[in-house]
């Protein structure tokens, strides 16, 4: 009896499905579109977060390079720190002079596309300084002559101020 019933159902199904009726139903297509939408809603914010982390890493790297350039310039200039400087998209590092015709670019300062501003502040105490970089994400990172690059800013006296 089972085989007879299945045979009849199969015959009926074969009658309904013609060559011109092959394909996906509207419901199947809607389910696929909804699944793609859900995956996009999950993936896009994750991708944006990864992009922002990459921009912040680029700024941290540039702050470290700026710190190295300040130390290098100081060493070449009888341990005298160069004057404070602020570099932004208008003041290109290749045009900003340090000492003796040398530019910050010559000294090893790099500029990433995610950068808004790089600042070097000569400290009020002897041989102290702070380097600060601002990312296009809005985060600020700083480094001093004795500390590595961390989230924070530089004070007007050239000291590190931790981010809150």
Spans of all domains in the chain: 33-162
pTM beyond 0.75: the answer is no
Q: What is the pLDDT of residue 20?
A: 61
pLDDT at 19 over 60: no
Q: What is the pLDDT of residue 9?
A: 74
- Residue 42, helix vs strand vs coil: helix
List, for residues 3-18, the tens digit of each pLDDT value. 777 777 777 777 766 6
Q: What is the mean pLDDT of residues 128-151?
A: 93
pLDDT band at residue 154 under the 50/70/90 scheme: very high
pLDDT at 53 over 70: yes
Distance CA(64)–CA(94), nearest Å, equals 18
Which is nearest to 86 in space by CA: 14, 156, 159?
A: 156
| Contact (CB, 8 A) for 42 and 123 | no
pLDDT band at residue 84 under the 50/70/90 scheme: confident
Mean pLDDT score of the chain:
85
- How far does Cα 126 stand from its chain's mean position? 34
């Amino acid at each position: 009896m089972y085989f007879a019933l299945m045979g009849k159902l199969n015959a009926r199904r074969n009658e309904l499905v013609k060559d011109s009726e092959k394909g996906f139903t509207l419901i199947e297509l809607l389910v696929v579109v909804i699944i793609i939408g859900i995956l996009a809603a999950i993936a896009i914010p994750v991708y944006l977060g990864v992009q922002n982390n990459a921009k912040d890493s680029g700024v941290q790297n540039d702050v470290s390079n700026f710190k190295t350039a300040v130390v290098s310039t100081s060493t070449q200039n009888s341990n005298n720190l160069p004057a404070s400087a602020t570099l932004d998209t208008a003041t290109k590092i290749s045009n900003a002079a340090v000492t003796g015709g040398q530019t910050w670019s010559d000294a090893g300062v790099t500029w990433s596309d995610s950068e808004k501003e790089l600042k070097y502040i000569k400290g009020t105490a002897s041989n102290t300084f702070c380097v600060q970089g601002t990312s296009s994400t809005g985060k600020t990172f700083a480094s001093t002559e004795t500390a590595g690059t961390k989230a924070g800013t530089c004070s007007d006296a050239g000291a590190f101020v931790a981010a809150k």
